[in-house]
Amino acid sequence: MGSNIANLILRFFLEIIALITLGVWGFKQSESWFRLVLAIGIPVVIAVVWGTFAVPNDPSRSGSAPVITAGFIRLIIEFGVFGFTVWSLYDMGWNKISLIFGIVVLAHYLVSYDRVLWLLTK
């Protein structure tokens, strides 16, 4: 299973965009000091979950798995994060950006079909 370097770079940027977007969304959820907790806390929690729950030897990652996770669980985590990002963009009124981000994520997973199939067997 080969991983195209351009697709791995795209995946990295999608992850960064997701974290930034969810931080902005969290900031917009409150008018009090709690907005800072959400703006920082949501991306930190998601980054920890993303980096911790992994399938051993996943070629799109470092190969390490701090908490060994079944492949379909990993896909649920990934789809959940990207789905939350698409929804949060829509919720903030950025409908076109939400649609574009969703299409790019879908294209990424279509190009990565070999990884998706591999994860479904793990």
What is the C-alpha to C-alpha distance for residues 34 and 27, in angstroms, rounded to an integer? 8
pTM of the complete model: 0.89
**Res 85 pLDDT > 50:** yes
Amino acid residing at 58: D
What is the C-alpha to C-alpha distance for residues 113 and 119, in angstroms, rounded to an integer? 10
Least confident piece of the model among 1-5, 53-57, 84-88, 101-105: 1-5
**What φ, ψ does residue 60 adopt, rounded to 5°?**
-90, 0
Query: What is the band of 1 on the pLDDT scale with cuts at 50, 70, 90?
Result: very low
Length of the chain: 122
pLDDT of 60-84, one tens digit each?
A: 776 677 888 999 999 999 999 999 9
In this prediction, what percent of the chain has a pLDDT beyond 90? 74
Per-residue confidence (pLDDT) for residue 115, from 0 to 100: 87
What is the C-alpha to C-alpha distance for residues 34 and 3, in angstroms, rounded to an integer? 41
What is the C-alpha to C-alpha distance for residues 100 and 23, in angstroms, rounded to an integer? 19
Dig out the tokens for 66 from the structure: 């701090």
Amino acid residing at 18: A
DSSP-derived secondary structure letter, 31? S
Per-residue confidence (pLDDT) for residue 11, from 0 to 100: 92
Q: For the chain, state the CA radius of gyration.
A: 15
**Res 7 pLDDT > 90:** no
